[in-house]
Structure 1
Amino acid sequence: MSELPRKITDDPYGAAALIKRLVAEQGLAYWRRYLVAFSMMAFSAGATAGSAYLLGQVINQAYVNRSIEGIVLLSGIIIALFTIKGAATYGQAVILSRISNAILANNQRKLFAKLMRENLGFYASRHSSEFLARLSAGAASVTQVLALLVTSLGRDLLTLIGLLAVMVFQDPLMSLLSFVVAPPAFLFIRTLVKRIRGLAHDQFTGTTDIMETVQESLQGIRTVKAFTLEDAMQRRIEKSISEVEERSNKMARVANRSGPLMEMLGGIAIAAALMYGGYRVIATNAAPGQFVSFITAFLLAYEPAKRLARLNIDLNGLLIGARKLLEIIDSPASEPADDDKPPLVITQGRVELRDVSFSYREDEPVLKRMSLVAEPGQTTALVGPSGGGKSTVLALLLRLYEVDRGAVVIDNQIISDCSRTSLRQQTAYVGQDVYLFRASIRDNISFGRTGATEEEIVAAAKAAFAHDFIMSFPQGYDTPVGEHGTQLSGGQRQRIAIARALIRNAPIILLDEATAALDSESERYVQEALAGLCRGRTTLVIAHRLHTIMHADRILVVEGGQIVETGRHDELLQAGGRYASFYRLQQRDDNATPPLAATA
Structure 2
Amino acid sequence: MLAGLLRLRGNTDPAGTVAVLKRLLSEYGRGHAKSYALAFCFMGVGAAATAATAYLIGSAVNEVYVDKSFAGVAAVSIAAIVIFVCKGFATYGQAVTLARISNRIIAVNQKRMFDRLVQQNLGFYSDKHSSEFVARINFGATSASAVLNSLITALGRDLLTLIGLIFVMVYQQPLLSIVGLLIMPPAVLVLRKLIKRVRQITLAQFGGTMMIQQALQETVQGFKIVKAFNLENVMQERVHRHVDTIEQASNKLARVQNRSTPLMETLGGLAIASVLLVGGYSVLVLDATPGGFISFITAFLLAYEPAKRIARLNIELQSNLVGVRILFDLLDLPVPPADTRTTALKVTEGAVRFENVGFSYRPGEPVLKDVSFEAAPHRISAFVGASGSGKSTIFNLLLGLYAPQSGRILIDGQDIATVSSASLRRAFAYVGQDVYLFHGTIRENIALGRIGASEDEIVAAAKAAYAHDFITAFPDGYDTRVGEQGAQLSGGQRARIAIARALLRDAPIVLLDEPTAALDSEAEAFVQAAMGELIKGRTTLVIAHRLYTIAHADRIHVVEQGEIAEAGRHEELLRNGQRYATFHQLRLSEPDAEPGAGAGDTATGAELAAAG
Q: TM-score range by the shorter chain?
A: over 0.9
Contact 1:8 1:16 in 2 (8 A): no
Equivalences for residues 342-421 of structure 1 within 5 A? 342-421=343-422
Worse overlay, 134-143 or 343-352: 343-352
Matched residues in 1 for 2:11 and 2:493: separation? Answer: 58
Evaluate the alpha carbon distance shift between residue 8 and residue 138 of structure 1 in structure 2; reply closer, same or farther with a 3 A threshold: closer
* CA contact 1:384–1:544 (8 Å) conserved in 2: no
Residue of structure 1 in register with 2:159 after alignment: 157
TM superposition score normalised by structure 2: 0.92
The 8 Å contact of residues 385 and 559 in structure 1, kept in 2 or not, is answered as yes
Assess, with a 3 A threshold, how the Cα gap between structure 1 residues 543 and 12 changes in structure 2: closer, same or farther: farther
Deviation at 1:8, TM superposition (A): 8.0
Query: How far did residue 407 of structure 1 move?
Result: 3.0
Q: Does structure 2 conserve the Cα–Cα contact (< 8 Å) formed by 1:11 and 1:17? A: no
- The answer to whether the Cα contact below 8 Å between 2:116 and 2:333 also exists between their aligned partners in 1 is no
Distance in 2 (alpha carbons) for counterparts of 1:442 and 1:253: 53
SS at match of 2:436: coil
Distance in 2 (alpha carbons) for counterparts of 1:238 and 1:8: 32
1:252 aligns with 254
Partner residue, 2:140: 138
Kept in 2: contact 1:13–1:323 (CA 8 A): no
Change (3 A) 1:590 1:389: farther
Query: Which residue of structure 2 lines up, in the alignment, with residue 574 of structure 1?
Result: 575
For the residue of structure 2 that corresponds to 1:115, the secondary structure is helix
Distance 1:260 1:341, change over 3 A: farther
Q: What does the per-residue CA deviation read over 1:78-127, in whole Å, with 9 as the maximum and x for residues that have no partner? A: 12111211111011101111111111111111111222111221111111
RMSD: 1.9
Q: How many angstroms apart in 2 are the aligned matches of 1:589 and 1:340?
A: 52
Please say which of residues 51-60 and 467-476 is displaced more in the overlay: 467-476
Would the aligned equivalents of 2:446 and 2:458 in 1 still touch at CA under 8 Å? yes
- Farther off after superposition, 209-218 or 109-118: 109-118
Report the AA paired with residue 101 of structure 1.
N
Instruction: Summarize the alignment of residues 317-336 of structure 1 with structure 2, pairs less than 5 Å apart.
Output: 317-334=319-336, 336=337
Q: How far off is 1:371 after superposition?
A: 2.1
Q: In structure 2, what is the equivalent of residue 528 of structure 1?
A: 529
Q: Shift of residue 370 of structure 1?
A: 2.0
Distance, in Å, in 2 between the alignment partners of 1:8 and 1:517 is: 50
Cα distance 1:430–1:590, how it changes in 2: closer, same or farther (>3 A)?
Answer: farther
Q: Which residue of 2 aligns with 1:460?
A: 461
With 228-237 and 246-255 compared, the bigger mean Cα shift is at 246-255
Structure 2 distance, partners of 1:9, 1:574, is 67
TM-score (norm 1): 0.94
Are the equivalent residues in 1 in contact too, given 2:341–2:418 (CA < 8 A)?
no
Unaligned runs of 5+ in 1: 1-6, 594-600
**1:67 offset after TM fit, Å?**
1.4
Aligned residues of 1:384 and 1:557 also touching (Cα < 8 A): yes
Matched, 1:341 2:342: yes
Is the contact between residue 587 and residue 593 of structure 2 (CA under 8 Å) also seen in structure 1?
no
Matched AA of 1:146: L
The alignment partner of 2:119 has SS state of coil
Q: 1:262 aligns with which of 261, 264, 274?
A: 264
User: Could you say if the C-alpha distance between residues 265 and 408 of structure 1 is closer, same or farther in structure 2, counting changes exceeding 3 Å?
Assistant: farther
* Identical-residue share of aligned pairs (%): 56
Match of 1:281 in 2: 283
SS of aligned partner of 1:325: helix
Q: CA deviation at 1:403?
A: 2.6
Q: Deviations over 1:488-542 (max 9, x none)?
A: 1111111110110011011111011321111112212211221221122111100
Amino acid at match of 2:250: S
The 1:535/1:417 distance shift into structure 2, 3 A limit, reads same
1:355, 1:188 → 2: CA distance?
Answer: 68
**What letter is aligned with 1:178?**
G
Alignment-derived partner of residue 218 in structure 1: 220
SS of aligned partner of 2:284: helix
Instruction: Provide the C-alpha distance between the structure 2 equivalents of 1:222 and 1:63, rounded to a whole number of angstroms.
Output: 80
Report the AA paired with residue 89 of structure 1: T
The answer to whether residue 69 in structure 2 is matched with residue 67 in structure 1 is yes
Q: Which moved more, 1:567-576 or 1:27-36?
A: 27-36
| Structure 1 partner of 2:512 | 511
Counterpart of 1:99, as a letter, is: I
Match status 1:485 vs 2:486: yes
Runs of 5+ consecutive residues of structure 2 not aligned to the other structure: 1-8, 595-612
Aligned residue type for 2:236:
Q
Which residue of structure 2 aligns with residue 565 of structure 1?
Answer: 566
Distance 1:20 1:10, change over 3 A: farther
Whether 1:476 and 2:485 are equivalent positions in the alignment is no
